[in-house]
Amino acid sequence: MSTFPDFSGVVLFAKGGRPIYHRAFGYQNFVTKEKVDTASVFELASVSKQFTAMIIMQLKEENKLNFDDGIEKYLGQLHYGNITIRNLLNHTSGLPDYQAIMDAHWDKSKVADNDDIIEYLRKYHPPKLFEPGTQYEYSNTGYVLLASIAELVSGEDFIELSRSKIFRPVGMNATDIRTLPEKTNIKNFAWGHIYVAEEQRYVQADSFPYSNYTIWLGNRKGPGRISSTSSDLLRWDRALYSERIIKQLTLEEAFTPARLNNDSLSYYGFGWDIRTSPNGKRIVRHNGDNPGYKTQIIRHLDEDKTLIVLCNNAHKEFEKVVERLDKLLEDE
């Protein structure tokens, strides 16, 4: 890490659930110079998707839905045809990007939630990008719909579902889906920052106009918005080796490549990218990217090794940092 002296965040290596390296770098706030520590809370960005997928899998075990149900069974106002819950989970739905529609038409003095997003998809009905099941394209829209379907079949708010089905049972006491005021009240919250070359300093990411969507889309649920710590993510990792919150048989679906209509495979499961190491071992991982934040969790399933990297200064060489750290973990 000394080769990346301006990196701000936390790195956690674990083997068999035991941390073998857990260090913090940089600042929670670059103005006040409050330092990051290993208990600092970070926005996870799209690392959140694995939790949304887990709730859907739990509801499937409770016989409240099936992966191959058409979404119009639950969201009849959306007429996109032949899209299943499975398509939403593995990003093969072909749904258009909700953010583009909201950016074009939403009154940004208001804060949109999932119902607003679904209504604007219905009202403006942008066309599908491709027919469901024919290809993979990463879709935040799909995960908004998954959270809304979870609310409909359970009768509970998605935030409370996340708490009752995952965060509390796993002991993730520092993890939640938080509003901006709630984040402000957390003493050890690591705020996202972006480097401004002209000023030669890091500036808080939410001060940039292009970050405004995090405010006016601030009530969306499903594709992101979970904030957590490295230690809580290790607790999550451990729970996934047990049957504390889901049966292993069901969980295997999350780590299974999607089969497309032409019988080829897409290597994204339910909330996880799926890889194979050079020595044939299974790896699942997911990254996150929000203004000021870059995050990654990598799980070497067959060797029970875990890498968690949370960064709050959107480091320009984040991917290289992760690549080199993961190589060390492979060699450990």
Residue type, 319: E
Q: Check if the beta carbon of residue 298 is closer than 8 Å to that of residue 283.
A: yes
Classify residue 89: in a domain, yes or no: yes
**What pLDDT does residue 213 have?**
85
Classify residue 4: in a domain, yes or no: no
Classify residue 225: in a domain, yes or no: yes
> What pTM did the predictor assign?
0.96
- Decide if pLDDT at 309 tops 80: yes
**What pLDDT does residue 256 have?**
96
Least confident of 135-149, 211-225, 257-271, 290-304: 211-225
**Number of structural domains found in the chain:** 1
For residue range 85-107, what is the model confidence (pLDDT) as tens digits? 999 999 999 999 999 999 999 99
- Decide if pLDDT at 55 tops 90: yes
Number of H helices, E strands in the chain: 12, 15
Catalytic residue among 8, 40, 46, 162: 46
Query: CA–CA distance from 153 to each of 59, 140, 157, 205, 223 (Å)?
Result: 8, 20, 11, 36, 18
Comparing 85 with 330, the larger pLDDT belongs to 85
**What pLDDT does residue 209 have?**
72
* Domain extent for 78: 9-331
Distance of alpha carbon 160 from alpha carbon 140, whole angstroms:
21
46 part of the active site: yes
Classify residue 2: in a domain, yes or no: no
**What pLDDT does residue 277 have?**
87
Give buried/exposed letters for 104-131 (b at 16+ CB in 10 A, else e): eebeeeeebebebbbebbeeeebeeeee
Classify residue 188: in a domain, yes or no: yes
Classify residue 3: in a domain, yes or no: no
Q: Check if the beta carbon of residue 12 is closer than 8 Å to that of residue 145.
A: no
- How high is the mean pLDDT of the chain? 95
Q: Which residues contact 198 (CB under 8 A, 6 or more apart)?
A: none
Q: What DSSP character marks residue 167?
A: I
Distance of alpha carbon 98 from alpha carbon 183, whole angstroms:
25
What's the CATH code of the domain at 209?
3.40.710.10
Classify residue 119: in a domain, yes or no: yes
Classify residue 279: in a domain, yes or no: yes
**What pLDDT does residue 329 have?**
82
